[in-house]
Amino acid sequence: MSVSLAPAGHMTCESCPIRHRAVCARCESDELARLDEIKYYRSYEAGQTVVWSGDRMDFVASVVSGIATLTQTMEDGRRQMVGLLLPSDFVGRPGRDGSPYDVVATTDLVMCCFRKKPFEGMMETTPHIAQRLLEMTLDELDAAREWMLVLGRKTAREKIASLLAIIARRDASLKLTSAGGQVAFDLPLTREAMADYLGLTLETVSRQMSALKADGVIILEGKRHITVPSYERLMDEAGDDSDGGMLA
Amino acid sequence: MSVSLAPAGHMTCESCPIRHRAVCARCESDELARLDEIKYYRSYEAGQTVVWSGDRMDFVASVVSGIATLTQTMEDGRRQMVGLLLPSDFVGRPGRDGSPYDVVATTDLVMCCFRKKPFEGMMETTPHIAQRLLEMTLDELDAAREWMLVLGRKTAREKIASLLAIIARRDASLKLTSAGGQVAFDLPLTREAMADYLGLTLETVSRQMSALKADGVIILEGKRHITVPSYERLMDEAGDDSDGGMLA
DNA sequence: TCAGGCAGTTGATCTAGGTCAAGGCGCGGC
DNA sequence: GCCGCGCCTTGACCTAGATCAACTGCCTGA
């Protein structure tokens, strides 16, 4: 498994979401400079495993580009995806050694990493980092709990619609107009990965995608390009009352 | 809905887990004293709702005694429990205004509360609080993700066993011997609440409880008192590889 | 003492989604 | 151009768990 250091030269600080979105938006400049000293970039190819469940994880990181998933696997092979990492999302557990799940790159992936020890050191001296991290972790917790409702109580059709709504909102949030807007995006997941996320089989995913297409909720070009004529309609299919914050 | 202030007089600091377990184990004593100034106790009767989903929540708190649940409800009434709060667990979201779910007392409940504004103030000045809170939130996130596996991929029997294992471990952790230990405890949940937690119907919960009893995995006295002859066996039924950290 | 109600159990039946199996479609390699 | 291989779709059938319904036991209040 070849993990190469990404060409960091032309990655300006602007492109690192840790600094600007993920951790330290409120820190003063000399603290930012210290973050720079322990920062490095890594890239992975689609399909590569970033960390194995149980492995020691000696860094924390945020996604610069590409998509990664967090999955848990039972001994008999049943799998459940427990998180989806999109650009600017954070991975890693200050204060913990091992990862409780596999982290896998589902597309080509670039991450901005910080060695854990020095990062933890910075947390001690720079309170804003811990506070920002707490905020982010609370967001993830909300997302995980929202997803528990999806997994425990929604029908297959509602599950699919929920997932598409999340991706649409995230992927296309800037393009969304206030109400009933049309959105288009490329699905970054295989049917199998969708099934793993939703607690379904890939056949059921496929069938429900076909059904949503037949009912005009989505328009499919090829297998992966999706146009949502009405975001409102999609939310409706997802059975959500509010469009409240989910997403890992 | 009468919410009474609990008789705080004979609640010594020892009985408040916020200070000793939940938030501030590493703080110096003058900081502890400041926590005392903004602390108050509240008690709720079984069945009372502590906070409604969407409501403003102007405090953070930890459970002193009793049990509370966090649930989400869809418009059509489908319900999913997303967290179980046992003594020493923490509720509340520094930096957030509303609760995203109902918090309900399932037994008589005493909570140790801190008004949110001053608590947030303390977080700014006392870095250990934010760090401790981050640690706790990461634990909850792990628990939530573990539960996603339960909801998405486990069979009804495995779900029940998983829930019983969690409660047994939590409720009886001190009594557990290293291997194959016997544990006994009282179920703090109705069959319906179990169903809401597990994404099942109460009939299925009842049937699987009967099945586990028939197979000798558990011994039932009355409806609620449970003896687990072998914790190992229970874990096995739950389908868990490790007994890794779940629980909300 | 008895009526009513809540919690739980158990049985009969139904169905959403899983399982197994047979293709289809696009794409890179030869 | 054709082969082989992922990825996806569709069909036929099956089953775990939902649904509907009857019934038990226990506790509470009149």
B151-182, pLDDT tens digit by residue? 999 999 999 999 999 999 887 665 555 455 78
Q: Is the CB of B224 under 7 A from strand C?
A: yes
Whether B197 and B132 map to the same domain: the answer is no
* Inter-chain Cβ pairs, chain A and chain B, closer than 8 A: 122
Q: Is A5 helix (H, G, I), strand (E, B) or coil?
A: strand
The residue segments making up the domain with residue B56 are 4-148
CATH of the domain at B35: 2.60.120.10
Q: Is the CB of B155 under 7 A from strand C?
A: no
How high is the pLDDT of residue A102?
A: 94
Residues A14 and A17: their CA atoms lie apart, in Å, by 7
Of A148, A164, A196, the domain-final residue: A148
- Two structure tokens written together for A69: 């998933």
Whether B119 and B197 map to the same domain: the answer is no
Find chain A residues with C-beta within 8 A of B243's C-beta: none
Q: Do B239 and A74 touch (CB under 8 A)?
A: yes
- Inform me whether the pLDDT recorded for A16 exceeds 80: no
CATH of the domain at A207: 1.10.10.10
- Two structure tokens written together for A46: 């689609």
How high is the pLDDT of residue B247?
A: 38
Find chain B residues with C-beta within 8 A of A83's C-beta: 145
Residues A235 and A224: their CA atoms lie apart, in Å, by 20
Whether B144 and B158 map to the same domain: the answer is no
User: For chain B, which ranges sit under pLDDT 70?
Assistant: 1-34, 172-180, 241-248
Q: Do A138 and B101 touch (CB under 8 A)?
A: no
Most confident of the ranges A59-68, A157-166, B236-245: A157-166
Q: Give the one of A130, A145, A241 whose C-beta lies nearest to B134's C-beta.
A: A130
Per residue in B27-45, pLDDT (tens digit) is: 445 556 667 777 889 999 8
Judge whether A66 lies within some domain.
yes
Whether A55 and A105 map to the same domain: the answer is yes
**Considering only residues 220-239 of protein chain A, which place a Cβ less than 7 A from any atom of strand C?**
222
How high is the pLDDT of residue B204?
A: 98
Of B102, B125, B148, the domain-final residue: B148
- Inform me whether the pLDDT recorded for A5 exceeds 50: no
Nucleotides of C under 7 A from a protein CB: 7-12, 16-21, 26
How high is the pLDDT of residue B133?
A: 86
Long-range CB contacts (< 8 A, 24+ apart) of B219-224? Answer: B223/B187, B224/B186, B224/B187
Whether B139 and B18 map to the same domain: the answer is yes
Strand D contact set, beta carbon < 7 A: A 190-192, 202-203, 205-207, 209-210, 220, 223-224; B 155-157, 199-201, 203-204
Average pLDDT of chain A to the nearest whole number? 82
Judge whether A206 lies within some domain.
yes
How high is the pLDDT of residue A9?
A: 30
Q: Is the dihedral of CA B169, B174, B179, B183 positive or negative?
A: negative
Whether B10 and B97 map to the same domain: the answer is yes
Judge whether A163 lies within some domain.
yes
B71/D22 CA-to-C1' distance in Å: 31
User: At A144, is the pLDDT very low, low, confident or very high (cuts 50, 70, 90)?
Assistant: very high
% of chain A exceeding 70 in pLDDT: 79
A112-150 b/e (C-beta count within 10 Å ≥ 16 → b): bbbebeebbebbeebbbbbbbbbbbbbbbbbbbbbbbbb
Total structural domains within chain B:
2
Residues B100 and B185: their CA atoms lie apart, in Å, by 31
How high is the pLDDT of residue A172?
A: 65
Judge whether B103 lies within some domain.
yes
